[in-house]
């Protein structure tokens, strides 16, 4: 279906729509592809191979739900242009990125190349493609200049970033805003482009290194205590399906008759109760896992800088998109533990993943 045939107004425009997801082999991208498939979209993917073994992509059999699975590097502009041309998408969700703070200290140049130039390549490819009507660029809660404020960050707060990952995502926001202002809208390319800033997501199938929930579940499965680097750091935790519902709602609004009005930045964070210290989340996970799972402090020291407090204000998404978080922190942790327990028992997590998505969508996600 082409952009010209799109239904006007809101609702669920996904059935039969061609959608390109970059980063489809990753954790959030895999969940997004399966949610789009459940809504009836024809999903095309562009990414490097899955970043971990195991991965959500393989265990949940995301490949079987794709119309096209292109493997390639978004640092290669020509490759990105070819992939967009081949998919002829109406909507692009751009998630492909180097997403880890610690890896960004190890490889700052690669992180900036993927996260900034990779995004510029995607938007430039969109500029060359008539089919695209809406683009959601996924950044992060870490795009804000962290002032260690106790109050949550709003979309108009200053961008910045201490570590290379955060800075690369803030730069991605600036590049996106520049390309949007320079080449899209009002008599130019009609695609509407928005950015989405979400907090720390949790859910089944995240096997990334140096992330709290995967670190906990790996340690518990080995029967060892998990060692925490920053137990008192406060983060906005939410189940992966929450921001995904936000990305979908944002794209639906971009596709609407007044979509231009939504071509800006939106936060998607949890309710204030979802803002919790790392130590609290690890203790709750240990309790849900059972079997004597326990938490200890990592006293090694020498860890790179990470922000102490980070909260997001999602009032704009609530008021303008009608989005709201649906799962409290305990429910999100329970879904995650259910998934990883099933995986550890060798059960069919592809079916479980689709069931979790179907239930979430049924409750209005």
Ligand X SMILES: NC(=O)c1ccc[n+]([C@@H]2O[C@H](COP(=O)([O-])OP(=O)(O)OC[C@H]3O[C@@H](n4cnc5c(N)ncnc54)[C@H](O)[C@@H]3O)[C@@H](O)[C@H]2O)c1
Applying CB under 6 A, the residues found at the interface with ligand X are 23, 25-29, 47-48, 51, 73-75, 95-99, 114, 118, 138, 140, 198, 200-201, 208
Smallest separation (angstroms) from ligand X to the CB of 3: 24
User: Whose Cβ is closer to ligand X: residue 6's or residue 77's?
Assistant: 77
Distance from chain centroid for Cα 67: 21
User: Whose Cβ is closer to ligand X: residue 60's or residue 198's?
Assistant: 198
Rg (CA), the chain: 19
Looking at residue 49, what DSSP letter applies?
Answer: S
Query: Degrees (nearest 5) of the Cα angle 73, 111, 241?
Result: 80
Torsion-angle region of 187 (φ positive above 0: left; ψ -120 to 50: alpha; else: beta): left
Smallest separation (angstroms) from ligand X to the CB of 71: 8
Distances (CA, A) of 287 to 30, 247, 275, 282, 316: 28, 32, 19, 9, 35
Torsion-angle region of 242 (φ positive above 0: left; ψ -120 to 50: alpha; else: beta): alpha
User: Whose Cβ is closer to ligand X: residue 3's or residue 52's?
Assistant: 52
Smallest separation (angstroms) from ligand X to the CB of 12: 23
H-assigned helices in the chain: 27-38, 56-59, 77-87, 101-106, 108-112, 118-127, 164-183, 212-222, 241-255, 278-289, 315-316, 329-344, 349-362
Cβ neighbours of 30 (radius 10 Å): 32
User: Whose Cβ is closer to ligand X: residue 131's or residue 140's?
Assistant: 140
**Strand, helix or coil at 280?**
helix
Structural tokens at position 266: 């939106």
User: Whose Cβ is closer to ligand X: residue 202's or residue 254's?
Assistant: 202
Smallest separation (angstroms) from ligand X to the CB of 75: 5
Smallest separation (angstroms) from ligand X to the CB of 15: 25
How far apart, in whole angstroms, are the C-alpha atoms of residue 233 and residue 230?
Answer: 5
User: Whose Cβ is closer to ligand X: residue 29's or residue 161's?
Assistant: 29
Smallest separation (angstroms) from ligand X to the CB of 204: 13
With CB atoms as reference, the residue minimizing the distance to ligand X is 26
Smallest separation (angstroms) from ligand X to the CB of 310: 11
User: Whose Cβ is closer to ligand X: residue 29's or residue 259's?
Assistant: 29
């Amino acid at each position: 279906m082409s952009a010209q045939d799109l239904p006007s107004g809101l609702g669920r425009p996904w059935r039969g729509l061609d959608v390109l997801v970059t980063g489809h082999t990753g954790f959030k991208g895999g969940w997004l592809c399966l949610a789009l498939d459940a809504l009836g979209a024809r999903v095309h993917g562009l990414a490097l191979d899955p970043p971990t073994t195991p991965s959500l992509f393989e265990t949940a059999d995301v490949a079987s739900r794709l119309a096209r699975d292109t493997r390639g590097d978004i640092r290669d502009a020509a490759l990105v242009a070819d992939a967009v041309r081949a998919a002829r998408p109406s909507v692009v969700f751009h998630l492909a990125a180097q997403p880890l703070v610690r890896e960004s200290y190890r490889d700052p140049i690669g992180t900036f190349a993927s996260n900034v130039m990779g995004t510029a390549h995607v938007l430039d490819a969109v500029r060359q493609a008539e089919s695209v009507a809406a683009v959601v660029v996924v950044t992060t809660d870490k795009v804000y200049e962290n002032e260690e404020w106790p109050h949550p960050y709003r979309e108009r707060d200053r961008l910045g970033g201490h570590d290379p990952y955060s800075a690369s995502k803030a730069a991605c926001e600036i590049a996106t805003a520049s390309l949007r202002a320079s080449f899209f809208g009002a008599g130019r390319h009609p695609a509407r482009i928005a950015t989405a800033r979400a907090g720390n997501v949790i859910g089944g199938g995240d096997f990334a290194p140096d992330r709290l929930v995967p670190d906990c579940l790996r340690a518990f499965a080995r029967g060892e205590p998990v060692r925490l680097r920053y137990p008192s750091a406060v983060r906005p935790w939410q189940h992966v399906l929450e921001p995904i519902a936000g990305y979908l709602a944002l794209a639906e609004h971009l596709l609407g008759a007044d979509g231009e009005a939504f071509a800006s930045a939106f936060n998607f964070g949890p309710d204030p109760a979802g803002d919790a210290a790392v130590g609290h989340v690890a203790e709750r996970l240990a309790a849900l896992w059972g079997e004597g799972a326990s938490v200890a402090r990592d006293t090694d020291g020498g860890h790179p800088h990470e922000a102490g407090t980070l909260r997001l204000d999602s009032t704009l998404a609530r008021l303008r998109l009608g989005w709201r978080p649906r799962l409290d922190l305990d429910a999100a942790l329970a879904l995650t533990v259910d998934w990883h327990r099933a995986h550890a028992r060798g059960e069919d997590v592809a079916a479980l993943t689709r069931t979790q998505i179907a239930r979430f969508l049924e409750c209005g996600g």
